[in-house]
Structure 1
Amino acid sequence: MTIQKIIRLGGRFFRPISLKWRLVWRLVILQVILLTLLIAMILGALIVTGVIPDNYEGRAVDVLRKVVRRDDAGELVLKSTPRLTELREEVPDLWFVLRDEQGHSLKEGTIPPEFTRMAAALDHIDNAKLVWKKGSTLPAATVMWYDTSAGKIQIFTGAQGRFKVSALLDVTPEIIMEIILPIGGVMAVATLLVIPLVVRSAFRGLRQAAALAEKIDIDERGMRLPVERIPSEIAPLVRAVNGALDRLDKGYERHKRFLIDAAHELRTPVAILNTRITSLPATPERARLLQDTARLSTLTDQLLDIQRLGRQKQQFTRFDLVAVARGVVVDLAPMAFAAGYEMSFEPARGELFANGDRTAVERAITNLVQNAIEHGGNAGRITIGVNSPATIEVSDEGDGVPAAEREKIFEPFYRLRPRGHGAGLGLNLVHEIMQIHGGRIELAGSDRKGACFRLVFAQA
C-alpha cells in the first residue's frame, strides 16, 4: 500500500482495493486452474499412451535392486518385502534376470524367448532400453547395472502391468518436480513481477490525472483532467469528472457575479440611508440605526473585498507593516475609546517590511481590531503589536474564544454570538487575505486572558 488510506463505511473499516493487485491475484488463480488442467492432461496422455503402465519397469528395477542379497554360498537371493509382494501382485507376468560379474544369476517368471540369451551379450552395456519395431506386439525390456548390497548387479526386466492408482502416485512426484514446478515457477515470477509492471505502465496516465486532480482548487479553476493516456475503460469516468468541473466553474462564476452585483447594489441605498439617519435629531434610536447602517456598510465592503481577492492575483509591493498598523490604530482609536477600551500600540521596531497588498493587509488588521472591540467585553485594553519576523498581534482582555469554537471561527458567516453586530465574514476575510500572502492567521493558546490573533507574514 501503494501507500493506503482506510475508509469508514457503515461503521466498519475497509481498505481501498488495489486494481493492480486485484488483477494480479486473479491471474494467479487462473494460472493455478491452468496448471491443474495441465497436470490432468499430462497424466491423461501418459495413461493413454501407456507410459504410466510401462513405468512398472522402473518400479521393478527399484524394488529388485533393494531386495537382492547373497546367501551363505554367494548365490543371489531376494529378500521378501511388502513392496516385492505388491509388485508380484500388480504384475502377474513379472519376469527378470539378475546377474553379477562372476556369472551368478537369478531368474523369475517366464522370460520371452527373444530375451533368453540376450542378457549375457550385454555385459559391456551400462544401460539400455530395448524397444521392438513399430507394429510389433513383443514387449519392451530394460537392462541396467546397479550397485546393490549384493555388489554390482545387472537387472534385466520387462515388467508390464495394469494401470493402478498406486502407479500414478509413483510418477506424480516426478511429474511435479520435473515439469509442473519449473513451469509454475516461471509463471509465478511472470505474474508477481512482470504483470504489476505492465499494469503500472498502463495506469501511468491515470496517475498523472490523479496528480492534476489534487491541484484543483476553488482558486485554480479551469483545470481539466487529461484523457489521452487514460485506459479506455476509465476514460468515461474522467470525461464525466471534467463535465462536472465545467458545471461547477459556471455555477461559481454565476454565484460570484451575483455577490458582486448585490454588494454594489447595496452600497448606494445604504449610503443614502446613512445620510438620512445622520440628519435626524440625536436620540438613542438614531444611534442604534447608525450602528445598523454601519453593519450593512461593513458587510458590503467585506463582500466586495472577498470577491476582489478571488478575481485576480494581487500584484504585491513592499510596504511597512508598522506604518499600516499605526494607521489602523489612529483610525479606530476613537471607536475603541467610545466603547470603553484603552488602546495600546506596541511596535518592536520602527520599521518592519513585508511583501503584499497594502490595502488588503490594512483591511485584515482593521477587521481584527473591530472584532476585539465587538467581543472584548467593553473593558480593558486592546493591544496591537508588531514583532519580528513580520508578525502582527491584536489582543484584548475579554472572555476569549471557547475551545469548542476555535476551529469554527474562520468559517464564513460563522458568528460566535448569533445576536452580535457582525456578519461572520471578518475573520474569514482575514484568513483569505493571509492565504493569498502566503502567511497564516493564528489564535494564541487558551491559557491567556482574552483573545490574541496573530498574523504571520512570509519573509520579505
Structure 2
Amino acid sequence: MRRRSLALRLMIYLAITQIAGTLLLVPIVDFLVSVSGVLPGWEISRDDWGEHRLQALVARSLTRDEAGAARLEPTPELRAYLAENPLARYAAFDCRSGALPGSSPELVQALSGLDRLEAASLKFRLAGDGDARARGALRRMPAGSAACAIAAYGYRFAWSDLHAVSGLFLTLHSAIVIAPAVLIALAIAWLVVRRGLAPLRAAAADVAAIDMDTLHKRLGVDDAPKEIAPFVEAVNDALGRLDAGVAAQRRFTANAAHELRTPIAIMRAHADNPDDAAFRCDMKRDIRRVQTIVEQLLATARFSIREAPADVDIDLGEAVLAIVADYTPLMIENGRRIAFEPPSTPTIARGDKWALECVVANLLDNALRAEPPGGVVDVRVLPSAIVEIADHGAGVSDADRDRIFEPFWRRDAKGHGTGLGLAISKTLAELMGGSISIVETCGGGATFRIALRKSRAPQPIRSSSRVEFQRAEGGAEELRSA
C-alpha cells in the first residue's frame, strides 16, 4: 500500500497559501472593497472593474479585410452588451490610419492627438458628462493586434464581468512573476516542514529503538511541541499498558510453572510407590488438580487473544443442572452431597455456554473443598437469572472479599488451588455482561452469586422442583426430588 507523504502535503498547502497570499490577496481585497462600496473614496470604484469586459468584447469585434485594413464589426455579444448598457461607448484606433470606422465619434474627438502620447493605459472622463458614475479607459493592445488601442466609456460593473476580471491575473506576465514565487514558496515550505516535523522524526526513532526488553523506556515529552505532545503521551501510555501486560504475562507464566511443578512432583512420588493403598485416590486427586490448572491456563490464553464469549440464549436451569450432574460423582466420592434448586419459572439468560460452564465448575470446585465432610453444597437458579452456589465451610472474611478475585491470591499458602479460578470466573462473568459477588451463607459459609443478563425471548412454561444427589444403599447415585 502506497502511503501519502504528510511532509509533501504540508509543503503543497504552505506553498499554495503563500502564493495566494502574495499574488492574489491584494487584488482580491481591492476588488471586494471597491465592489462592496464600503469606502466611497477608494481609488478603484466598483464600475472600474467593468472596463475589462467591454474592451474584450471590442477586441473580439476587430477584423481585417482582404487588403489587411483593420475594421470594427460588432459581434452579437457586443450588441447584447450595448443593449444592456445603452450609455456605453467604444472606439478603436489604428496606429497608422487613426480611428477605425464604427468607433464612437465623441470618443474619437476627445482622444484625438493620442499619437503624440506614449502611454500603455489611460483613465479619463469626458468633460461635461452629467453622469457622475461615467468613466473611461484606454488601453494599448499587444503587438500584432488589429488595433493599436481600444477605448471604452460608460461601462457598468455586473457580476457576469468576473470572468473577464479573472483573465487579468491569468496572463504570461503573471506566470513569469509567479514562477520564481512558486519556487521560493516551495523552498520555504520545505524548510518549515522539515524543521517542524523534526520532533516527530525524533520520537519515531525513539519508538523504533524500543523492544520487549526496553518497554520501560518512555518518549521525551518536555521538548515536544504542543501539537505533538498528546500523541507522544498517548504512545507513552500505550507503552505503559504494554509493559504492564508483558510483566503480568511473565508473572503468570512463572506462577503457573510453579503451580504445575508441585502436583507433578507429588504424582512422581506416588508413582514410585504404586503399591500404596491410597495410590489411586491420590493420583486421581493430583490429576484433577493438573487438569484444573491446564483448563485455567487455556481460559486465560483465550482472554489474551480477545476472543469474546458468544452472546446467545441459554436455558439457565438446564445448563446449571447438567454441570451439577457432572460434578455429582466427585462430590459423592469426597463424602459430600449436592442439592440443585431450579428456578420457579424457566429462565433464559444471555451469555456463552462454555463460559458459564467454566464459571460454575470453578465455583463448585471451590465449594467442594470448603464444604465440611457430610455436608451439602446448595446450587440455586433464580428466575432473575442469578445462580447461587453455597457452601457451609469457614466462609470468607469481609477483608478478603475484594482480594479473593485477584489472580494467584490464596488465603492460605498451604491450601490447594492455583488462585486463578475466581479471577477467571470474574473475568468471564463480566465478558458476558454479568457480575459475580460473594455473600455469607445463612448459618456460616460462603455463597457465590453469578448475575447474568436475562433474555427478552419468550420464556417456556415448565414445572420445576428441588433435586438432591446422594449415594443410595449399594453405592448407586440417586436423584431425590422434593
| TM-score (norm: length of structure 1) | 0.44
Q: Which has the higher contact order (CA 8 A, sep 6+)?
A: 2
| TM-score (norm: length of structure 2) | 0.42
